[in-house]
Every structure is written in structure tokens, then in C-alpha cells.
Structure 1
Amino acid sequence: MPAPANRSFRDNLALLFRARFPVIYIESFEETRVLAEIDSVARDASVMRTVRPMYTWSATRGFVEPNGATHAGTTDPKQAVDWMLQQEGAGVFVMLDLHSHLGDDRRPADPALIRALRDAAGNFHVGSSARVLVIVAPTLRIPSELEKDITLIDFPLPDEREIRAVLDDMISANTSSNGRIRVEVDSVGRERLAKAALGLTLNEATNAFARAMVDDGVLSNDDVHVIMEEKKQTVRKAGLLEFVDVDLDLDDVGGLQNLKRWLSKRNNSWLAEAAEYGIPAPKGVLMTGIPGCGKSLTAKAVAAAWELPLLRLDIGKVFAGLVGSSEQNMRSAIRTAEAAAPCILWLDEIEKGFSGLSGDGDSGTSSRVFGSFLTWMQEKTTPVFVIATANKVDRLPPEFLRKGRFDEIFFVDLPTRLERRDIWSLHLSKRLQRSKAANLDISESLLDTLADVTEGYAGAEIEQAVVAALFDAFADRRQLKDDDLVRSIRNMVPLSVTQAEEIAAVRSWAATRAVAATAADDRSSYRSTAPAAPTPPSPGAAPAAHAAESLSRGGRLVDF
């Protein structure tokens, strides 16, 4: 059974001690912190009616008394439990390595040890002395025979105050010893470093700060990325989330000025300065729209701009594995994301994971997983900013779209002329700066021409047009020419032609349900007429011009 919720670890532990709960299980890698807390509570006369000494057991030393004395013959867990039962006085008996003897999927636990632990639970519960067994382990491993005898209690990772204290102590120690590390971090920088280290153990945070100091001999505000490297290790070990490396910024996303302004205003909203304004941490944003128009690219760019880790959740991994493990996988993924907070949790093409949740074919597993995720999104208080992308938003359950799940829903449409011009400039500059075909003059007139002939093209299609043109130049071992770009455009049939009906449908849905990601000024450059059936492209002409003009754009005109 779990311990009472909405209390601190210390309050929970004191309550269970006073209530004479016989066996408590604490899952944590931080033995030193856990032991310090247990000992502090056990000896605190202000919260304990009976002050209790703490005895610690390990597989290497057996039971060790508070004064450091050891007891021979107690390294075997069964013998250790027998010795514990013989102690008549009050005490807290902490066993550190017991989980490795409690069995797993490959081997069962020793029946004699299970019996001894059950005897201890019964004895401690009704005995005259205040005694309790506390199992501290890095993994949760409870045999079914002991499920009703053991109470679980969560031990949280260090909070910002504890991590900030470690950072301040390291800076002070360096200053007082005239260390060679130059400290160039201000108060806001210290807050950002401490927040970046949330989700790490104290040892991991200490190592991360030490690495940042010795990396270049300077501790500065920019060393947040060093802390992110340590977080990356933590996320990868968990397995369900992917830590995505990003090397771009919001300026690398062409167009979408309305969406970019909205996101920029929410940067640093997890800092104490924002809390002083009464601002809660933003929940997240849902981006829907036409494929290839920058939704996934924006998710990556936000993480870089905000200097936060980007964690990608693959819903397929949640449903993989043994029967009955999907719910646990989702809880583990959420717990990992919260441990890495502040961070960005990215769910790409979410409709593929959460569409068709009837529950008929999987005994309701999908519905339960989806329900737990929705509840977390609604109730979460940790700064985990959720970015979800969807190409076919109509496949999502309606409860996923209601207010309170996301702060806003944005519709990403085909780029306008001004946006296409920016996209061409970005991709040509990026590709040609490291290309042997770099003599092309990216002039204003060239960008205007390319923007005009690619009406109805998605950003991804423009990028592929640049790549195709470079292939043509490479095949002849010559420099890139304007004609190469125009020819690659004319040889491509864009989505605005091949999926005209689908685009019209999603625009119709977004017209009243989502905010346009494109700024109003940019949208004014887009020519639209009454909806009509698109015509096939004619040879030698830009294939999407008529189709793009025939489709009215979607998304409410809101200017951020």
C-alpha cells in the first residue's frame, strides 16, 4: 500500500513510525540522503513519542549499531532478520541490499526469507516495543507474498533549494581557497543552473557542477548546457524517453511568426521571477496542420531557444513489452519527465498513438493509458512543457483538445509568400555555406521568383527542391544555377495537389478551433479564392499554384 499523499517525505515517515507500520519500502538510489533523513526522524523527540536508534544492514557488513559496532554472522539476510527479531528494545532496522534477495522474473525469493520477513511484520505490529523494518533499495522488488505487509513511501529527488545549496557551497569553497576557477555567474544564472540540475541526485548534480567548472576553468551562465549533458545520461538510462539533441533556434524556422511570438513570451516562465508575477508554468501547446510545414522543427527549435532538454515520448514504446506493463510504462515516462523538469516533452504525430481508443481490442489498456496521461496533463504542477504535433487532429479524442490540457492549439498551414521567401533564404544559406556549389547569388530577385513559383509548397518540399537541385549540379560537377532550382520545383508534385481534399478538410476544422501560426501580416500576402477542385499541373508550370489558390486558409486570426 502507498503512504499517505500530499505530505513531505519527513512527515510521511514520522507518521508511519508513530502508527507502528511494521515494514516500509523506500525506492531510491541515494542511500546517504535516505539514511540521514531516517536517522533524523527517528531521533527527533518533537515528532516521535519514542526516540529510536537506527541499525543499518548491508550484505557486506551485516547489522551495524549506531555506535559503529558490527554483529558477526548477520551478513546472510535470513540470519539478519532472525537477529532483528531477537532485539526487544525500540529501534529502526534499515536493510540496504535486501532487494537482491527478494527474487525477480528469473528466480523466486527464498521461501525461508519470505517467512522470516512475514514473522517480523507480525511481531513488530503487535509487539510491546516500537520497532520498524525499513527496506531501502534502488529498484522496487516486492514478492506477492509480502504485498500486504509492506508500505511504500516515495523519496523525492533533491529540490531546487538543496541543489542551490550545493552549488553555493562549491562556489564558496572555490573562492575561500583562492581556487583557479573563475566564477562569472550572476544570481539569475545560479537559479538557471540549479533548475537545470533538477532531476539529478545530489551526487550527479555535484559532478555536473564540477564538470562545468573544470571544463574551461570558468563557471558562467552558459554552462547550463553542461548540466544538460548529465541529464541526458539520466534520461537514456530510463529507456522510455529519447533525449533529442538540437542545434538550431527559432530563427531557423521560416515563417510562423505568430506561433514563434507566443512561444518567445513564455521563455523563462519557470523561473522565480515569473512566479512573482503570479504566472503558472505553461502546460503546453498542440500544433496541428499540414505535413512538412514546420511543426516538428518548431518543437526542436523551442528547446534550443529556451535552453531546456527536449524529451521525445514514443507512444509505441509505452505499449510495447509484457501484458499489463503499458500503464507502468506511461507512469515511468511521466516520472522521468518530471525528474528532468524543467524540460520539454515532445509527442510527435500523437494521433497515431491515441486514435481509436475504443479499448475493445486490448481490454481497455489504451483507454487507461490515455486517461492517466490526460489526468497528468490536467493536474501537473512541475514545469514540463508538452509539445504535441498532429497531422490529422480529427482522429484525436475530443477530451484531448479541451481547454486545460493545452494552453493553445495552433494550426500550421502551407507557407504564405513571405514565409516561402524566408524558407528559401534559410535553406539556400544553410546548404550553400558548406557546399562547393556556393557561388550562387542569393539575391532579392531570386528569392522573389522562387517564392512566386512555389505557391502551395510546404517547407519540407522547398528543402527537398534545394537538395534535388544540388544533386543535378553534383551530377555534372558544376556550380548550382537558378535554373536547377526552378527545374526541381517543376518536377515535384506537392501535397497541395496530391492531398487537396484532405488539406481543405483540416483547414475547415481549424477555422474555428485553432489559432493560425502564421502572423496576420504574412497571411495578407496569400491569395485565396472560393474553394474549388484543384486541377492537375501542366508540364513546365508550377503544379500547385491553382490548387493552393483554390483552398481557403484555416486558423483563427489572433495576433500575439
Structure 2
Amino acid sequence: MQQPTKSFRNNLALLLRARFPILYVESFEEERVLAEVRAVASDQSLMRTVRPVHVWSGTKGFVAPDGQAQGNTSEPRQALEWLLERDSPGVFIMLDLHPHLGDDRRPADPGFLRRLREVSFAFQSGAVARVLILVSPITRIPDELEKDITLVDFPLPNEEEIRRVLEDMVATNAASGRIRIEVDNVGKERLAKAARGLTLSEATNAFARAMVDDGVLSNDDVYVVLEEKKQTVRKRGILEFVDVNLDLDDVGGLQNLKRWLVKRNNSWLDEATIEYGIPAPKGVLMTGVPGCGKSLTAKAIAAAWELPLLRLDIGRIFAGLVGSSEQNMRAAIRTAEAAAPCVLWLDEVEKGFSGVSGEGGDGGTSSRVFGTFLTWMQEKTSPVFVIATANNVSRLPPEFLRKGRFDEIFFVDLPTRSERRDIWSLHLTKRLKSSKAGGAIAITDALLDRLAGVTEGYAGAEIEQSVVSALFDAFSERRGLTQEDLLRAVHNMVPLSVTQAEQIAAVRGWASKRAVAATATEDRSGYESAVEADRPAPSAEPSPEASMSRGGRVVDF
């Protein structure tokens, strides 16, 4: 596979030799673009005729290769007049011309556009090899010039280029003795991968910030680089950079899903590809009962893998003018790939793509956007791990579920007795660690066993809210938390297993053959045992947990 920079050079050389009159390069890194254009124009292995490069800016006008300003050419109209008078081979670059090409609020000067078209015709039909290259951070092409201008993709720096910058900075600072270098080769690879999606200037700033933060460059400084990447993602507006401060250990239960995820940690590194020949994992779809840890797991895996977590809000995609939804989806995909390796999270995906069946009355926009996303998921090679969560899997189109889109589909059921015990322990420990309410109660095995027994059929979120509700009771009387507070909170709550018993039974039936159980086999045993005698029942009816078999195929990882 060609490296991005090499691919750009070869593509540019082909366009120059074919005498394309006007090229357009969108990039914030104009110095990198200028360096690449000069390299191509002076390379006799790529170009039969070496061509001088003239650069225009609104402050200096055209400047020749020797640094000499070319007459009175600072005004764009004057610059185009000067171009039409050239009768020798050359590459002419104009920087930041986009303000003169108009936009939705202010159209461009028709006379200026006419002059650009005349330049295009003269360069294409003339006997002398000339080309005009427009370099801007924004792509803006008026309809009148659509057939005259050719867009040329200029990639962000690849991992190899970023690694060279990092190595140079390490060598320079190690020699000076002002910065202590404690990063190994694996750490350098992780730092370089974390900086993907940044410009060279941004990557340099991120590495410099990591060095001066504590005077040490270490493997842990990948978090500093991710902070810089967070700024880039937020500026683009389509994706949300989610801050996480938890780990997989903060998720109670779901051991089968956890083991699957742990085995794939660091699988985007070169070691996995070169030494084992395995591709980066595509992603997982998590479906199941609401409030049982799907979204929490998405956050935890990004933290555990030390990767940025980007949240794609489908509502942001379907906004704006006609045609902008498709453009927004493409922009979101580009941002995610630029930030790779990363985790891309789609929460409650069935709601975001509810109109893909054609019944949404949006003229097929939902279907087109959905198709773009599906194609990308199938064909993507960049290490973007997609985590999609869904509560109502029946609303998902079949093509979203077929193999190749996701590596695995996991079903997250109501927690088993063992998992409930872990969830109670997690939330009580977290809430009582620095709380005055913790003085009156000890988190013992007996307490956890009893709480797990009386909450059969309760989701993890419902157990958490039981702890919060009990703490409010203790706070109102300014006393310590007691076991009676917790039991009362459980008794006063009607769980989803009662209010949505039919829906849970239906989704379990679907998952029994189509999804893998997120709960490990050892945690499923004894799940359907009878409710303990001291459980304060939330209703007069027996718990539906006593009669419903658990969903998800039993597969251990």
C-alpha cells in the first residue's frame, strides 16, 4: 500500500504532466503542501521538465523561487493578469484565495470568476506547461468553475511522519539534558498513533506539552496527546469527544464481554499486524435491557484501551440544508478516521436510524446516510472501533446486523445474582468512600448477599438509584446509612422487569439465537432460583424473572 504522502506526490505528478489547468488543495498545512509541490516540480524522475514554483499571497503578491516579488500582484485581479502574461513553464500557487470565490451570503465578483476561467483555458490550450494550484483551509468552488477546477486530496501526516518528528524531538531534548526521556519503542508507537489526525504542528505542540508538563516524556504521556486531539475533534463540531474516568473494573458483571474486549486490547499496534497477521477489530453491537451497562461499557473500554472516545449523535447528522446530512456523515467519518485509533460510540442507534425503512418522509435522506455509514463499516481499514448500543433491536434493519459490520453482537441481560452482588459492592463502595453516611453500615458479604437476593429482576441502573435514594433518606435526617434504608429504597421501586416484562421476554427470545450472552457461564448458574423469602416484593405478582429464561447464546471467551 502506498504511503499517503507518496500517493499525493504521484497523483500530483500525473496531473501536472497531463496539463490540468487549475488544481485545488484543501489543507491547513500550507507549508507541508508547498514542500510537497516543490519536491514534485523539481523531481526529474516524476517530471520530464523541471518547473519553477511561484507562490502568491495577499500580502506579498507573487514571489519567484529566488524570493523576488513579481511587480504589483498583491491584488487577486492583478495576479491573474500577471499569470496570463507568463509564457514559460511554471507552477503557480495562490494561497487563501477562497474569500474571493464567494459563499452563500456573498457571491463572488463575476469579473474575477471570468478571469479565472480565462486562465484555465489559456493554461490548458497553451503550448507551455503551466498550472495554477489553489491552496486553502476551506474548499470553496463556485458553480461557474466546477468544471475547470480539480480537487486534489492532501492527507494529514501519517504515522511514519509523526514518528520522525517525535524521534527528532526526543533526540534533541535528550542531548540537552533538560528533559528526561523514559519512553520505550512501544510507548513511541502509541504516542505516534495517538497523534494521528493532527497536523505536524499540532503533533509537535502535543509532544512539547507532554515534555514540559513534568519534565519527563514517558509512556503515560499518551493522555496529553489525546487532550490535544480532543481540541481538534471539538472544533469540527460533528463528533463529541467524551471524557471518561473509569475502567472495566467499574462495570459490574458482564465478564464474557469483558474478556472478549480485553483480548483485543492493543490489537491496532504493529505487533498484531506484523507478527500475528490480524486486522484491527471492527466493533461490537450491544443490545439488551435498558439500564444494564451498555453505555457504561462503551466508556470503560475506551479508558481501558487508552483511546479517545468519540460519540456520534445521529441527530446532529440530520440537520441543516438539503444534502447537508450526507455531507455531515462523510465529515464525521473523516474525523473518526483522522483520530484513529479511537472508539466511535453510537448510543441507542435504533432511534437515530429510525427512518431508514423509507417511512420517515424525509425523501430518502435517512436511507442514503445509513447506506454511507454501512459501506464505511464494511470497507474500513483504519483502526476505528465502533461500539453501537440498542435497546430495541427489532427496529434495526437486517443489513446492520449481518457479519462483517461488527465482529460480535452481545446481549446484555438483567444482572444475575452474582452480578448484582458486584454492582451493589461497586456503588456502595463508591458512594460511601468519602461519605459521612458510611459510618453506620459495613459492606459485608452478608449485606451484599441479602441485597443481591432482594433485587432479582433489577437492572444495574435501578440498583444504583436504590443506593442514591437510600442516601437521600439518611441525608434528610443527617445520620448514617442503614440496611433498612437500602431495603426500603428497593421496596419502593418497581423495576423494568415488571413494567416491561413482555418487551424483555421478546428481546430475550430474539437474542437467544442471534447474539452472544455478555454474562459469563459461571455467573448464569442458579439465576432462576426462587426469590429469597425476605425480599420486599414490588408488586403482588410473582417476579417475571422466575419464569423467563435468559437471552443470548452461551459462548465463553
Name the CA distance, whole Å, in 1 between partners of 2:155 and 2:537. 63
Which residue in the other structure is 2:345 paired with? Answer: 346
Tell me the alpha carbon deviations over residues 339-359 of structure 1, each in whole angstroms, 9 at most, x when there is no partner.
100000000000001124133
RMSD between aligned residues: 1.7
Counterpart secondary structure, 2:340: coil
Distance (Å, rounded) in 2 between the aligned partners of 1:540 and 1:382: 52
SS at match of 1:108: coil
**1:552 to 2:556 alignment:** no
The alpha-carbon deviation at position 139 of structure 1 amounts to 0.6
- CA separation of 1:72 and 1:359: change in aligned 2, threshold 3 A: farther
Q: Secondary structure at the match of 2:226?
A: helix
- Residue equivalent to 2:388: 388
- Partner residue in 2 for 1:44: 43
Is it true that 1:469 corresponds to 2:470 in the alignment? Answer: yes
Aligned-residue offset at 1:113: 1.0
Whole-Å separation in 1 of the counterparts to 2:521 and 2:542: 21
Q: Which residue of 2 aligns with 1:97?
A: 96
In the other structure, the counterpart of 2:301 is: 302
Partner of 2:422: 422
TM-score, normalised to structure 2, is 0.97
Deviations 1:512-544 (A, max 9, x none): 000000000001131179xxxxxxxx9942558
Structure 1, residues 439-473: CA drift from partner, whole Å, max 9, x if none?
Answer: 12000000000000000000000000000000000
Query: In the alignment, which residue of structure 1 is the partner of 2:205?
Result: 207
- Could you tell me whether the CA contact under 8 Å between 1:23 and 1:149 is conserved in 2? yes
Structure 2 counterpart of 1:316: 315
Partner of 1:232: 230
User: 2:131 and 2:70 mapped to 1: Cα distance?
Assistant: 19
Cα deviation 1:320-340 (Å, max 9, x = unaligned): 111210000000000000110
Tell me, what secondary structure is at the counterpart of 1:247? Answer: coil
CA contact (8 A) 1:528 1:550 kept: no
Amino acid at match of 2:461: A
> Is 1:431–2:454 an aligned residue pair?
no
Amino acid at match of 1:419: E
Structure 1 contact 454–542 (Cα < 8 Å) conserved: no
Matched, 1:525 2:523: no
Could you give the per-residue CA deviations for residues 51-82 of structure 1, whole angstroms, max 9, x where no partner exists?
Answer: 11000000000000000000232111111011
| CA deviation string 1:275-324 (max 9, x = no partner) | 12001011000000000000000000000000000000000000011121
**Cα displacement (A) at 1:7:** 7.9
Q: Does 1:541 align with 2:540?
A: no
Distance 1:300 1:346 in 2: 9
Give distance in 1, aligned partners of 2:20 and 2:226: 40
Task: Classify the secondary structure of the residue corresponding to 1:73.
Answer: coil
Q: Unaligned 5+ residue runs, structure 2?
A: none
Distance 2:357 2:141 in 1: 33
| Inter-partner Cα distance in structure 2 for 1:501 and 1:141 | 54
CA distance in 1 between counterparts of 2:177 and 2:94 reads 40
Deviation at 1:50, TM superposition (A): 1.6
Deviation at 1:6, TM superposition (A): 12
SS of 2:403's equivalent in the other structure is coil
- 1:493 corresponds in structure 2 to 494
Within 2, Cα distance between the matches of 1:137 and 1:326? 24
Q: Distance in 1 between matches of 2:230 and 2:493?
A: 40
Give 1:398 deviation, angstroms: 0.3
For 1:143 and 1:474, the matched residues in 2 are separated by 65
Q: Report what 2:507 is aligned to.
A: 506
User: Corresponding residue for 1:285?
Assistant: 284
Quote the Cα distance in structure 2 between the aligned partners of 1:53 and 1:10: 16
| Cross-structure match for 1:376 | 376
Whether the aligned pair in 2 keeps the contact of 1:454 and 1:545 (CA below 8 Å) is no
Q: Which residue number corresponds to residue 409 of structure 2?
A: 409
The residue that corresponds to 1:533 in the other structure is none
Deviates more, 1:32-41 or 1:430-439: 430-439
CA distance in 2, matches of 1:428, 1:357: 43
Structure 1 contact 411–510 (Cα < 8 Å) conserved = yes
In structure 2, the residue matched to 1:362 is 362
Structure 2 match to 1:65: 64
What whole-Å deviation, never above 9, does each CA across 1:411-449 have from its counterpart, x for those lacking one?
Answer: 000000000000000000000012110212000000000
Secondary structure (helix, strand or coil) at the match of 2:387 reads strand
Q: Match of 1:151, SS?
A: strand
Q: TM-score, normalising length from structure 1?
A: 0.96
- Give the partner amino acid of 2:385: F
- Residue 460 of structure 2 is matched in structure 1 by 459
The answer to whether the 8 A contact 2:487-2:536 is kept is no
Conservation of the 8 A alpha-carbon contact between 1:356 and 1:395:
no
